[in-house]
Structure 1
Amino acid sequence: MGHKAKFRVWRGEGGEGQLEDYTVEVNEGEVVLDVIHRLQATQAPDLAVRWNCKAGKCGSCSMEINGRPRLACMTRMSTFDPNETITVTPLRTFPVIKDLVTDVSFNYEKALQIPSFTPPSNVKPGEFRMQQVDVERSQEFRKCIECFLCQNVCHVIRDHEENKPAFAGPRFLMRIAELDMHPYDTLDRKNAAQEEFGLGYCNITKCCTEVCPEGIKITDNALIPLKERVVDRKYDPLVWLGSKIFKRSSS
Structure 2
Amino acid sequence: MTTAPSRPSASGSRAPATGTGTYTGRFRVWRGDAGGGSLQEYQVEVNEGEVVLDVVHRLQATQAHDLAVRWNCKAGKCGSCSAEINGRPRLMCMTRMSVFAEDETVTITPMRTFPVVRDLVTDVSFNYAKAREIPSFVPPAGLAPGEYRMSQEDVGRSQEFRKCIECFLCQNTCHVVRDHEENKAAFAGPRFLMRVAELDMHPLDSAAATGLDRRATAQDDHGLGYCNITKCCTDVCPENIRITDNALIPLKERVADRKYDPLVWLGSVIRRRR
Is TM-score (shorter-chain normalized) higher than 0.5? yes
Corresponding position: 1:232 with 2:257 = yes
Unaligned runs of 5+ in 1: none
Amino acid at match of 2:126: F
Tell me the distance in 1 between the aligned counterparts of 2:186 and 2:233.
18
List per-residue Cα deviations over 1:183-232 (Å, max 9, x = no partner): 11122210000000000000000000000000000000000000000000
- Do 1:15 and 1:95's aligned partners in 2 also have CA atoms closer than 8 Å? no
Tell me the distance in 2 between the aligned counterparts of 1:92 and 1:131.
41
Amino acid at match of 1:229: R
Counterpart among 34, 53, 57 of residue 14 in structure 1: 34
List per-residue Cα deviations over 1:121-175 (Å, max 9, x = no partner): 2222222111111111111001000000000000000000100010000000000
Corresponding position: 1:149 with 2:169 = yes
Corresponding position: 1:193 with 2:218 = yes
Unaligned runs of 5+ in 2: 1-20, 208-212
Map 1:1-251 onto structure 2 (within 5 A): 1-187=21-207, 188-249=213-274
- Give the C-alpha shift of residue 15 in structure 1: 4.6
Amino acid at match of 2:76: G
Deviates more, 1:100-109 or 1:10-19: 10-19
Tell me the distance in 2 between the aligned counterparts of 1:53 and 1:243.
47
SS of structure 2 residue aligned to 1:83: coil
Tell me the distance in 2 between the aligned counterparts of 1:91 and 1:6.
21
- 1:157–1:48 Cα change, 3 Å: same
Tell me the distance in 2 between the aligned counterparts of 1:114 and 1:246.
26
Greater C-alpha radius of gyration: 2
SS of structure 2 residue aligned to 1:25: strand
- 1:236–1:102 Cα change, 3 Å: same
- Give the C-alpha shift of residue 120 in structure 1: 2.2
Tell me the distance in 2 between the aligned counterparts of 1:134 and 1:15.
48
Tell me the distance in 1 between the aligned counterparts of 2:201 and 2:168.
22
List per-residue Cα deviations over 1:44-99 (Å, max 9, x = no partner): 00000000000000000000000000000000001100001000000000000000
Amino acid at match of 1:237: P
Tell me the distance in 1 between the aligned counterparts of 2:64 and 2:272.
62
SS of structure 2 residue aligned to 1:126: helix
Give the aligned partner of residue 8 of structure 2: none
- 1:95–1:15 Cα change, 3 Å: farther
- What is the TM-score with the length of structure 1 in the denominator? 0.98
The alignment-based identity, stated in percent, is 76
Tell me the distance in 2 between the aligned counterparts of 1:168 and 1:115.
13
Tell me the distance in 1 between the aligned counterparts of 2:193 and 2:186.
12
Tell me the distance in 1 between the aligned counterparts of 2:52 and 2:162.
27
- 1:74–1:15 Cα change, 3 Å: farther
